[in-house]
Amino acid sequence: MSATPLHFGPQVERLPLATLYLTERCNSRCITCDYWRHGRADMSLETVTQLLPSLARLETQVVLLSGGEPLLNPEWAAIAQLLKANGLQLWLLTSGLSLVKHAHRAGQLFDAITVSLDGTNRETYAAIRGLDAFDNVCAGIRAAAGTGVPVGVRVTVQRANYQQLPVFVELARQAGARQVSFLAVDVASPHAFGRTDDFGADLALHQEDLPVLEQILCAMENDYADAFHSGFIAESPRRLRRIHQYFSAVCGTAAYPPVRCNAPEFSAVIGAQGRVSPCFFIGGPADAIWRKDLEEVLNSDSMLALRQDIRSGGRSECARCVCSLWREPGSRISSFLLHPKENA
């Protein structure tokens, strides 16, 4: 693994983190996402094979396999094996619906697994994810954790589940997860996550919910001090309070929390059909389609202009973003991406 420090500039010369959408298809029916409605395309093993020389030239260290639901791609294991054989660390982001079935193989191939879990009981899970699959997903987390691979639970905080935050911590512990993390539901990016129409679902907290969330966060800071200190809760108490500020801003009673993010300088998202984007929330230019040379796409005129626009604060999505990932230009990137405590 290279230990060369990062140096960020207009050109992308190194890409420590690459996210591959193995498929646009999904077996969840989430109210926050539309991939399940219209996703069709899969990324092929042949495509990933052709991508390897670019990843090698760009000194990629970590590959996050996402989607859609990556385990729906019939070649997911072969793709993961190929990437692993080429010295890459692998991180799986999954809904967990198929994890019981694939836990053994996934435990062999991945360095870390993150499971999206948005309810602490069958009713809440079904209301958000669209399926009665809570017990199955919890079983998948336990099965994957039983292989020894570090498993994290990712919670998208929204009106239907925010009062369950402490219960998520206990549930993650009981399931054998190494970590639980919380992220506010994105209601400011109408075309992220496969959305094709205006995004008007009533997901955000209302004004009357904010004092309740404040009380919950205060209690968690006291009751789970050890979990914060150890990193079992990935975010610090201060970072969790950004969720409260975000929803306050959505309600019009506060400014959006400041976002400090330079993820497009050291990472990129490659869609199942080859579309290259700077992050999960901002789509790439229409001409940013990977065919043979990823570095050429990343440093095309349109991508250079887009990153400059992001860097200068010209994108409204960034000002209202629920997520931020900042790395100092002189820092080294390797397994910290699998352990988000360092970004808390």
- The predicted-structure confidence for 45-72, as pLDDT tens digits, reads as follows 999 999 999 999 999 999 999 988 999 9
Residue 2: what pLDDT?
A: 41
Mean pLDDT calculated for residue range 244-263: 93
Q: Tell whether the model's pLDDT for residue 191 goes beyond 90.
A: no
Mean pLDDT calculated for residue range 31-40: 63
Q: Tell whether the model's pLDDT for residue 101 goes beyond 60.
A: yes
- If you average pLDDT over every residue of the chain, what do you get? 89
Q: How many DSSP H helices and E strands does the chain contain?
A: 14, 8
Length of the chain: 344
Q: Tell whether the model's pLDDT for residue 293 goes beyond 50.
A: yes
Q: If pLDDT is split at 50, 70 and 90, which confidence band does 201 have? A: low
Residue 341: what pLDDT?
A: 43
Is the distance from CB of 29 to CB of 131 less than 8 angstroms? yes
pTM equals 0.91
- CA-based nearest residue to 279, from 262, 300, 257: 262
Hey, what long-range contacts does 255-263 have (CB within 8 A, 24 or more apart)? 256/319, 256/320, 259/318, 259/319, 259/321, 259/324, 260/324, 260/326, 261/318, 261/321, 261/323, 261/324, 261/325, 261/326, 262/8, 262/311, 262/325, 262/326, 262/327, 263/324, 263/325, 263/326
DSSP β-bridge partners for residue 67: 23
Provide the token pair at 186: 């994105």
**What does the alpha-carbon distance between residue 164 and residue 227 come to, in Å, rounded to a whole number?**
16
Residue 37: what pLDDT?
A: 57
Q: Tell whether the model's pLDDT for residue 109 goes beyond 50.
A: yes
Mean pLDDT calculated for residue range 142-147: 98
Q: Tell whether the model's pLDDT for residue 35 goes beyond 70.
A: no
Mean pLDDT calculated for residue range 82-106: 96
Residue 110: what pLDDT?
A: 97
Please give the span between the terminal C-alpha atoms of the chain, in angstroms, as a whole number.
24
Find how far residue 33's CA is from the centre of its chain.
Answer: 13
Provide the token pair at 18: 């690459």
Find how far residue 35's CA is from the centre of its chain.
Answer: 15
155-175: pLDDT as tens digits: 999 999 999 999 999 999 999
Q: Tell whether the model's pLDDT for residue 288 goes beyond 90.
A: yes
**What does the alpha-carbon distance between residue 73 and residue 209 come to, in Å, rounded to a whole number?**
39
Q: Tell whether the model's pLDDT for residue 195 goes beyond 70.
A: no
At 285 the three-state DSSP class reads: coil
Please state, for a pLDDT cut of 70, what percent of the chain lies above it. 85
Residue type, 51: L
Stretch (H or E) spanning 277:
strand 276-277
Q: Tell whether the model's pLDDT for residue 263 goes beyond 80.
A: yes
Please state, for a pLDDT cut of 90, what percent of the chain lies above it. 73
**What does the alpha-carbon distance between residue 91 and residue 68 come to, in Å, rounded to a whole number?**
15
Q: If pLDDT is split at 50, 70 and 90, which confidence band does 27 have? A: confident
For the chain, helix, strand, coil in percent to 5 are 40, 15, 45
Mean pLDDT calculated for residue range 294-298: 96
